[in-house]
Amino acid sequence: MSTLEIKDLHVSIETEQGKKEILKGVSLTINTGETHAIMGPNGSGKSTLASTIAGHPRYIVDSGSITLDGEDVLEMSVDERARAGLFLAMQYPVEIPGVTMSNFLRTAKTAIDGEAPALRTWTKDVKAAMTQLRIDPDFAQRNVNEGFSGGEKKRHEILQLELFAPKFAVLDETDSGLDVDALKIVSEGVNRAQEGGKMGTLLITHYTRILRYIKPEFVHVFVDGKVAEEGGPELADRLEEEGYDRFLAAGASAA
């Protein structure tokens, strides 16, 4: 079993008005085999947490720690994080002219594992994963992200997730902009990657919709850069009915 541990994390960014603290002491422990949902209103710091785990240079860690099996993640480069077993969907968001998906996937897999995958099984694995995600076979010969629709980008993310077999996946708003059919296909991919309990998932979302297909054991509600409440799946059900008003009203009266 592996453990990703976030302890009392404080993160800020530089703005034109000076430094602004966004994460105000976040603690969270995820083990492989577990699915955690982070939910919360817009602007509560969910993506900031994802970007900080990913090592985005814009986000300044003022205090606290992130460790993977005791290793300091914050000391690792973005590549080292991937090799350590962290999957961060936003790591490859850009178009890469002249690089086909097929080449990209194999190169990335080689970099993550430290050795090239055996060609025969690899080709078979890629084909199988693409079929399950209903990705057009032509896709392999297209350039990375070039002209991909929103839905294609999400499927590409999940294709990587299935092929790279990470220890921990951080999925930020994987559900946004997907129609119901695509949402189901993408969710099934995440569930397949999770099978066997070898991966832990941090599913970040504003809406409860995706939680009909991916069932979290733990739900953490983010409000104003902090975890405001934690619970099991019943908390997500409650949010579906009540929304975030209860938390926002509490924040407003405290301010």
Interface positions with Mg ion (CB under 5 A): 8, 25, 46-47
Q: How far is the CB of 226 from ligand ADP (least distance, A)?
A: 12
- The answer to whether 199 touches 166, Cβ cutoff 8 Å, is yes
Q: Which is nearer to Mg ion, 198 or 226 (CB)?
A: 226
What are the tokens at 21?
A: 């603290």
To which H or E segment does residue 43 belong? none
Q: Among Mg ion, ligand ADP, none, what binds residue 45 when CB lies within 5 to 8 Å by partner kind?
A: ligand ADP
Residues 6+ apart with CB under 8 A from 17: none
The option from ligand ADP, Mg ion, none interacting with 25 (CB < 5 to 8 A, set by class) reads Mg ion
Q: Which is nearer to Mg ion, 104 or 247 (CB)?
A: 247
Based on CB atoms, which residue is closest to ligand ADP, 162 or 175? 175
CB of 9 to ligand ADP, least distance (A): 13
C-alpha dist (Å) from residue 114 to 20, 29, 31, 129, 222: 38, 27, 24, 22, 36
Q: Which residue is it, tokens 């000391």?
A: 75
**Inter-axis angle of helices 150-164 and 119-132, nearest 10:** 140
Bridge partners for 88 per DSSP: 170
Least distance to ligand ADP, CB of residue 146, Å: 25
The partner in contact with residue 17, picked from ligand ADP, Mg ion, none with C-beta cut-offs of 5 to 8 angstroms by kind, is none
Closest approach, Cβ 228 to ligand ADP, in A, equals 12
Among Mg ion, ligand ADP, none, what binds residue 15 when CB lies within 5 to 8 Å by partner kind? ligand ADP
List, edge to edge, every strand of the sheet that includes 218-223. 86-88, 168-172, 200-205, 35-39, 218-223, 226-231
Q: Under the rule (CB under 6 A), what is the footprint of ligand ADP?
A: 13, 15, 22, 40, 42-48, 58
Query: Pairing relation of β-strands 3-15 and 35-39?
Result: unpaired
Q: Which is nearer to ligand ADP, 42 or 121 (CB)?
A: 42
Q: How far is the CB of 173 from Mg ion (least distance, A)?
A: 6
Choose among ligand ADP, Mg ion, none what residue 58 binds, the Cβ cut-off being 5 to 8 Å by kind: ligand ADP
